[in-house]
Structure 1
């Protein structure tokens, strides 16, 4: 690779909600917490209204979540700055905090833009050279999980690559939080010679796992077996959000033959457009019970 050393801008804490979400808002898709963030992004943010506790209990209950677990998740979300509760008589109402609403907006834009294939690649790579000391176990874990979530692959120890050169600022934030910013280097590079770039891709990412996830998504939503409009919509967005976290969204020329991601993206867009209105009507119905 020929590299152009690049000095990327400093990330100021005041800019984080507009640029890259802070770590306390970084949530995966597993468990009640992940399901809650999908509901907050897909329904609460879209409605623009305060939501009673009963609506969360009802909605999460449709996925087998007990009321106590729902209330615990709401309490944790409040402690983490996601929600702002208020009391009116016997009822508690929940609103999104301004910072978390911004986080959800950015996340929704990224999910809806996600197509499983990167368009218009200019052939350049973003390369991050970073290691965390063996004694810095939290930093090592954060580097591994957050850089992968940002679409970086790891072809060799201490080396992270992505075809998305616009993610340098996101990488800088991860390096800061891992405590390795001063020792790390970030480059924009081009592949000039040596082995095929496809070999680098196979070293950096496990596409077998991603393909299995796409197969499961296509099987679940090609002929959906659930009639509840809120359940099917939430499951659709929740599963697609998971895929957007694990798929690096590489250019078509670097992807395996017969890539299922493009087909899954078309299915998601069609189902999302068709299912959203009914899901939001059902959310409004269960949210209005105590009004």
Structure 2
């Protein structure tokens, strides 16, 4: 791997943990590889990983696991390897990008329709509960009481159906479209039970504080800051369900914070992509 002097941004953000290598790889593939569908060298990926503090061993493991999962395919030139996206990775990245954009477009005129799932797993499938939690959280579902999942986005029903079928949960799931009858627990109270809005708001505050004060001093520093910012934005669907405006508190700051973060992303994008292309050419 060519030796390139690396710079960091002024007041650089806290480096991501080695356990996030898989997430960072998806960020690199989605941000820099997916738009052009060109292949990328292992050395270019390792350079990006190293610049944000992820050890080479963890980076190589993430690449190997992505290949084993069918996200990327290998092309070799002697002892060197380059990688291209597979159709399944293309679909995964496209859907992830759609979900990230969906957070920013909170629905102003909500029709009051909920997608409701009740999933009851037997003791023999306790290990699947965490998988269900992660999958439904990613789709924007909240969990107000054990076994009950709600989502105010009617268009997520099809994705929920696929998840239920792929995880073999059909016989354990009751799925309904529903509207409030106007009595019992109010919809705002239901939202408060299903999602921790204070924690979501605090998460946005931390991200704005972390990235808003950065002043990258070079294209390379901008490149690394951009990777970390995009990585955080791509995690948001698991944290923020993108609730319709009528269900949000009057003083909700999440939308404003998300807009600020995306302004930074747009500001850094051109320099970051130019640096990626420059590094790719040098490694080539």
Q: TM-score, normalised by structure 1?
A: 0.85
SS at match of 1:220: helix
- Sort the Cα spacing of 1:192 and 1:166 in 2 relative to 1 into closer, same or farther, 3 A: same
Deviations 1:31-75 (A, max 9, x none): 111111111111111243211111011100011122222222111
Tell me what 2:32 maps to: 43
**1:94 shift after superposition:** 0.8
SS at match of 1:114: helix
Q: 1:243 aligns with which of 233, 236, 247?
A: 236
In 1, are the aligned partners of 2:229 and 2:265 still within 8 Å (CA)? Answer: yes
Q: 2:188 aligns with which of 187, 193, 198?
A: 198
Is residue 221 of structure 1 aligned with residue 211 of structure 2?
A: yes
Structure 2 unaligned residues grouped into runs of 5+: 1-17
Is residue 162 of structure 1 aligned with residue 151 of structure 2?
A: yes
Q: 2:124 aligns with which of 113, 116, 135?
A: 135
Tell me what 1:106 maps to: 95
In 1, are the aligned partners of 2:21 and 2:59 still within 8 Å (CA)? Answer: yes
Farther off after superposition, 255-264 or 223-232: 223-232
In 1, are the aligned partners of 2:143 and 2:193 still within 8 Å (CA)? Answer: yes
- Sort the Cα spacing of 1:112 and 1:122 in 2 relative to 1 into closer, same or farther, 3 A: same
Map 1:268-279 to 2 at 5 A: 268-279=261-272
**1:290 shift after superposition:** 3.3
Deviations 1:4-39 (A, max 9, x none): xxxxxxxxxxxxxxxxxxxxxxxxx96111111111
Residues in 2 aligned to 1:226 and 1:134: alpha-carbon distance in whole angstroms:
52
- Sort the Cα spacing of 1:113 and 1:268 in 2 relative to 1 into closer, same or farther, 3 A: farther
Tell me what 1:262 maps to: 255
Q: 1:233 aligns with which of 218, 222, 226?
A: 226
- Sort the Cα spacing of 1:275 and 1:221 in 2 relative to 1 into closer, same or farther, 3 A: same
- Sort the Cα spacing of 1:177 and 1:48 in 2 relative to 1 into closer, same or farther, 3 A: closer
Tell me what 2:8 maps to: none
- Sort the Cα spacing of 1:260 and 1:57 in 2 relative to 1 into closer, same or farther, 3 A: same
Is residue 183 of structure 1 aligned with residue 176 of structure 2?
A: no
In 1, are the aligned partners of 2:204 and 2:258 still within 8 Å (CA)? Answer: no
Deviations 1:214-258 (A, max 9, x none): 111111222224441211211111111122221111112211232
Report the RMSD for the aligned CA atoms in angstroms. Answer: 1.8
**1:176 shift after superposition:** 2.2
SS at match of 1:269: helix
Tell me what 1:290 maps to: 283
Farther off after superposition, 91-100 or 107-116: 107-116
In 2, are the aligned partners of 1:57 and 1:67 still within 8 Å (CA)? Answer: yes
SS at match of 2:283: coil
Q: TM-score, normalised by structure 2?
A: 0.86
Residues in 2 aligned to 1:254 and 1:30: alpha-carbon distance in whole angstroms:
34
**1:90 shift after superposition:** 3.4
In 2, are the aligned partners of 1:151 and 1:248 still within 8 Å (CA)? Answer: yes
In 2, are the aligned partners of 1:131 and 1:140 still within 8 Å (CA)? Answer: no
- Sort the Cα spacing of 1:158 and 1:66 in 2 relative to 1 into closer, same or farther, 3 A: closer
